[in-house]
Structure 1
Amino acid sequence: MRNHSANTALGLGCIAFALILAFIWIPFDTDTGLVERSRGRYIVGDGLAPTMAAVFILISGVMLLLERGAENHHPNRHNMFFIGAIIACGVIGILLMRWTGPAITSVFGGEEYRLLRDTVPWKYMGFIVGGVVMIFGMIAFVEERLSWRALWIALAAVAGIILLYDVPFDDVLLPPNGDV
């Protein structure tokens, strides 16, 4: 029997997760396909962003499988702690995305967040705070220190996502605004 490394285990886990996302979770959780045609124009479907995420997870899993290291380490507690910490950064970021907009709106907005969720600046608040905390937290954990560089990278990444995903499309709502 072949000796499996931590990279092999993580790679297989990523590939399995990506396939479950792409072929089970996303099709059963979205109402539209990847791209829809409506009134003579193409619009982004509900399944496009999560399918792209699944593709990136799949590519990452394949890259982990193909990586050859000098040592063949088995999965251990340190690996599980690392994965848990990265997941915790993601969960905290998602919770901040979900609740920052409604919390700030209840203090300063005057109206119900549901009515403001597609207007500037309200539609970006949760995405910016949650996204920056998520990315900054992951970078800080991996580098084992807090840095201004990590904060600027997180801000640039979130701004890039907004510019590429929200600004060009009139009918797209950034997370979590489509679910509120």
Structure 2
Amino acid sequence: MPNSSRVNVILGWAIVVFSLLLVFVWIPLDTTTGVIERVRRQTLIGDSMAPMIAGIFLLIGGALLLVFERKASDQPQIDPLNLGIVTLMAAVIAAGFLIMRFAGPAAVEINNLITGSDLEYRLLRDTPPWKYIGYFLGGVLSITGVISLAEGRFSIRAALSAVCAVIFMIAIYDFPFDDLLLPPNGDF
């Protein structure tokens, strides 16, 4: 038992500590509004609502890892193959974020070259279809890539699952709220 791995315990505590720092330190210091704002008798979503929900889900996930931690002898060992897969997944997600960040502005520039227009993405970031381009392409790439790495192969089913998941997230986060910008549109 002394050489056994405690991967789930270490990962669980790391996620719990990170999520607590996220919820109680990073988000409050990084956003100017709270979770819900009241302005002139209107209730609006604050800047911190989406990251706060994400932080709470991380906290729940970390707590579940700690609560349902298996015996040390049943836990997987950290080895170079596992670290390589995690590194590949992080690279796929980073590539998805880069595409999410730059696909919308690139699409506007391509449109300007083709049509001779003088559009600016900053002014279009909350108008369809421009506001969906980066979020959709980056999200589909991230989800498809992670599923493909987990399955060990690319599949059309993974890509279709990613498309459905991203459309579902757009429907949940964008359609009901007039004052919410999908990432990364708030950065422009």
C-alpha separation in 1, matches of 2:14 and 2:146: 20
1:114 is the counterpart of 2:122: yes
Unaligned runs of 5+ residues in structure 1 are none
C-alpha separation in 2, matches of 1:89 and 1:61: 23
1:158 is the counterpart of 2:166: yes
From the CA coordinates, give the structure whose radius of gyration is larger: 2
1:5-154 map, 5 Å: 5-65=6-66, 66-68=68-70, 71-109=74-112, 110=117, 111-154=119-162
Counting matched residue pairs gives 180
Secondary structure in 2 matching 1:160: helix
| Deviation sequence 1:74-131 (CA, Å, 0-9, x none) | 4333332233222222211111110000001001153011111111100000000001
C-alpha separation in 2, matches of 1:19 and 1:79: 26
TM-score computed with the length of structure 1 as normaliser: 0.93
C-alpha separation in 1, matches of 2:123 and 2:185: 11
1:172 is the counterpart of 2:180: yes
* C-alpha RMSD of the superposition: 1.7
Query: Equivalent pairs: percent with the same residue?
Result: 45
C-alpha separation in 1, matches of 2:155 and 2:5: 35
C-alpha separation in 1, matches of 2:69 and 2:88: 23
Q: Which stretch shows the higher mean deviation, 161-170 or 70-79?
A: 70-79
TM-superposed CA distance for 1:24, in Å, is 1.4
TM-superposed CA distance for 1:15, in Å, is 1.1
Q: 1:114 to 1:53 in 2, by over 3 A?
A: same
| Deviation sequence 1:27-72 (CA, Å, 0-9, x none) | 1111100111112121111101011111111111112222326613
Q: 1:7 to 1:79 in 2, by over 3 A?
A: farther
TM-score computed with the length of structure 2 as normaliser: 0.89
